[in-house]
Each structure stands twice: as C-alpha cells, then as structure tokens.
C-alpha cells in the first residue's frame, strides 16, 4: 500500500467478534491512509462473515483461542511491526480529518512521548448523546481517562514501557490507560471517532453510566473479573 515517500510505519490492530456489519465501513475509512501500514484483525471466534470480509480485503487475521478483548489486543500488538500502533474497536468510524490529524502527530518526533485518543462521538442528534459526548470529553481531558471506544494511538516504545495491554476480558482499556498515565499524558488527536449507537440507544444513559461506574469501582477493589464481565453484559 506504499503511495508516498518513506514515513514512520503504522500498525492498526482491531479485535473482532461477529462484526461483519461494521467492519467493511471501518476498513473503507482506514484505506484512506496514504502511507505504508499494517492492518491486523484478531478475531475472538466469529461465526458470521467477519473473517471472510477481512480476508477478501487482504487483511491479516489472527484467530484467537480466547474471546477476550485484552488478550486479542495484546496478541495483535505482539505480532505487529510498526513504529506506531493504532488500536480501534470494529464498530468505529473515523472522521474524514483523521488522516491529516494522524499525519501531523506521527510526523512530529516529540509525539512519541505521549499516547493519543480520538474525540468520542455518536451519529445521532439526541440531546442525551451530546451530553454524553461532553462528559466523555471532560473525563478524557481532565481525568486523563479515555476508554477503548475512543481508539488509542501510541508509539511502540511507549507501549512496551507502559507494559502493554493485559489479558483482561473487560477493563483492559482502563487498566492500560492507568499505567500509561503514571509515566506520561494522553492527548487529543483532535479528530472524531464515531461509535455505534445501539448499545446506548437500547439503554438509559444515566443508568448505564452509573452501572459502569460501579463496575469500575468493583474492578479497582479486586472484584472477580469474570463476574464483572457477566454483570456488564446483563
């Protein structure tokens, strides 16, 4: 996929599990990147057309023996070769400005000292979604706590210096961000990432936010991760 002169290489890692309805759109966004890049999907056992879609597009697919997003992200990173790593959820879409924003960051040698996240967005006009986006923006900036659905751009050296992703089936993003922010800051890419609205549309946003807060508190307190995962998905 080389189109321009040599540029720091980028590895994009996407964990999947039955994402055939989302994956083609994200792949179309990613194909806008004009430089060499490595794209790896780590699949947790899809029974739909996820793997076939990836293979038709010429994407490398690693079949994970665990339905565990933390393990899938860790596996993707350990098999990557790029100087920069970009972790994305499969149900994400990137704004048209993402190429310009990432180019500017990666080109700047000082950028490797930080980790980078996208601005969380939902493509629906509901007022409650605008409030949610604002809450996420404030949490990400002031508390330094962006989560996995905001993507994560990080230089390989910082990734390994921070310990990388742990094999957690849930809270893997919070676990990693907590370790990153012990040694550096996370910064905005200043580009938007749009997440699928279904999980928010089918539940009360306030109740879901309270539930997630309680689960995070349980996790910090050492509560069983399997039980936390079960509670999150019910």
User: How does the average pLDDT of the chain come out, rounded?
Assistant: 94
Measured distance CA(189)–CA(151) in Å, rounded = 10
Average pLDDT over residues 200-204: 78
What residue ranges do the domains of the chain occupy?
10-200, 203-234
- For residue 5, what pLDDT is reported? 52
The 10s digit of each residue's pLDDT in 148-183 is: 999 999 999 999 999 999 999 999 999 999 999 999
Buried b (16+ CB within 10 A) or exposed e, 18-28: bbbebbeebbe
The 3-class SS string of 74-126 reads HHHHHCCCCCEEEECCCCEEECCCHHHHHHHHHHCHHHHHCEEEEEEEECCCC
Q: Please give the CATH topology (third level) of the domain spanning 10-200.
A: Spore Coat Polysaccharide Biosynthesis Protein SpsA; Chain A (3.90.550)
**What is the C-alpha end-to-end distance of the chain, expressed in Å?**
42
- For residue 209, what pLDDT is reported? 86
- For residue 217, what pLDDT is reported? 93
Supply the pTM of this predicted model. Answer: 0.95
Residue 3, pLDDT > 70, answer: no
Residue 200, pLDDT > 80, answer: no
* 8 Å CB contact between 88 and 26: yes
- For residue 2, what pLDDT is reported? 43
Exposed/middle/buried for residue 222 (C-beta within 10 Å: 0-12, 13-18, 19+): exposed
């Amino acid at each position: 996929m080389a189109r321009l002169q040599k540029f720091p290489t980028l590895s994009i890692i996407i964990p999947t599990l039955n994402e055939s309805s989302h994956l083609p759109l994200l792949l179309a966004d990613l194909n806008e990147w004009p430089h060499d890049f490595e794209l790896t999907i780590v699949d947790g056992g899809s029974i739909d057309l996820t793997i076939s879609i990836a293979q038709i597009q010429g994407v490398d697919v690693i079949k994970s023996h665990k339905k565990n997003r933390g393990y899938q992200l860790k596996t993707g990173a350990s098999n990557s070769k790029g100087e920069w790593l970009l972790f994305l959820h499969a149900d994400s879409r990137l704004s048209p400005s993402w190429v310009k924003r990432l180019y500017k960051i990666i080109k700047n040698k000082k950028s490797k000292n930080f980790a980078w996240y996208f601005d969380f967005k939902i493509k629906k006009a509901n007022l409650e979604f605008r409030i949610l986006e604002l809450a996420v923006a404030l949490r990400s900036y002031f508390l330094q706590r962006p989560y996995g659905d905001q993507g994560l751009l990080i230089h390989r050296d910082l990734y390994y210096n921070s310990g990388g992703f742990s094999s957690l089936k849930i809270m893997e993003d919070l676990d990693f961000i907590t370790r990153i922010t012990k040694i550096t800051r996370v910064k905005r890419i200043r580009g938007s990432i749009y997440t699928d609205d279904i999980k928010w549309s089918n539940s009360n946003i306030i109740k879901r936010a309270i539930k997630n807060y309680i689960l995070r508190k349980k996790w910090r307190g050492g509560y069983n991760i399997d039980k936390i995962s079960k509670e999150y998905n019910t």
